[in-house]
Structure 1
């Protein structure tokens, strides 16, 4: 039987599967992911599961039941750069522990269980998120195969090098009798801790709008251009950042973030001529989210 301590120990093992020593960085179809698969594949087998890897690189372990329906349990094994060790792998390990208990007791449920260790959620390598789950859902966009990483390697080439066939990703769409999907995840927020609660149940999944906004002004000398003649891109960006913060207080459940701001030319004695910032808006109601985005962009 796998207990909580063993789950955490397995997360520690996976944390060592990284492309950057000293911090966790595990991109899609990388050497670090290959090492992680070696461990997870063996743990799946120990739990009595039949293990396969699909063309996008998802590791899939199946534990048969007495009926035809299947409960999917899944999360991702890839990471952002300098990630936490529990974001993604924790639920894969929890799911495997649950199946291991069934296997140790020689029990079968009225339905099968399939544990999905998704190849990509974060989009670190190619800037296209949810590759693993999109392949399973049948919504993978083949145009993404032409994307290149920082080394010029196309996604199609990376998939082939990892052992998949980029021309057959559509074959891996889930087509069985689906009972449901479940995922345990760390909160990544302070609410449960503040309320001294060990666990919470998700009541909604927030839609997300993410974009880059470029503001163009006019660069000039910081010491010779009068204030009333300036077109400072950074001050406009600052006003927009504050507007984003204010907009996020108008609706319960709405969050909005500017997490990146790039200023050109980025010199102390030059008025900024261009500012580029990111905008991330999330809300469970698509209508609310879209309206807030439209209001901000209309400024």
Structure 2
């Protein structure tokens, strides 16, 4: 199998082969992370620039550590102390890092489409630079979607995670789906794998048009629910999402307490799921709102810590595939 993608901007057009390449590459890097010496020279001499125009803990730290584990040189961009405050454009900032020898740019921005604009400019300049979308507005968050996919597949078969393991599985995504770029990336990947994805949340945070964003060639189906119990019946995996109040431009919820009453996940909800149901959350978590503290800390059910660990292996895989790409 050959990797043929210079940029990773969205999962909407990924093929099964690409997912499996990613899963197998991440699996090999997971083994590297278990060694006493967790560093490999795979990207030695290459420069990775982290351009985060939005706050981030997990994603930024994960990409930085993944780059270090691959022996790449790292440049970290902070907008508050950059020339952006002096009027420099984002494209000029990107071209500054290009002139410094950057090979891969990891970009997060509050506006959808910014990574794509920078990728188009790098291609126009025939720079050979790869762009990796680390989250753009309410569009997508590909690396989070891929680490969630890897976490679920690894739970089903730790020795050989692969797409076919999700065929027919029921995965429920709960919460603020309207504002979630994570949900969008997961919808693309999970339905492509053949999983049946059930979206559930308040009507104000889950418009019916979400059923239109699935690929027509996906094997899995997409369902919409407004009642939590209806959605959770016989679920194999549950993914809860953060209420993204910073993106809400109007009052879409009466209160956080009422949200937890109707959509907050607790141990009691698991009685109607499959016996071995597992819980995921992309973080950061609002304890006692989207999910109870007791449940998120129950390591027999919660995969949240595994998601964070797996994020390093998946991002190592992404950087490796882009860093060794050649047309």
TM-score by length of 2: 0.23
- Bigger strand fraction: 1
- Bigger helix fraction: 2
Larger Rg computed on CA atoms: 1
Structure number with greater CO (CA < 8 Å, separation at least 6) is 2
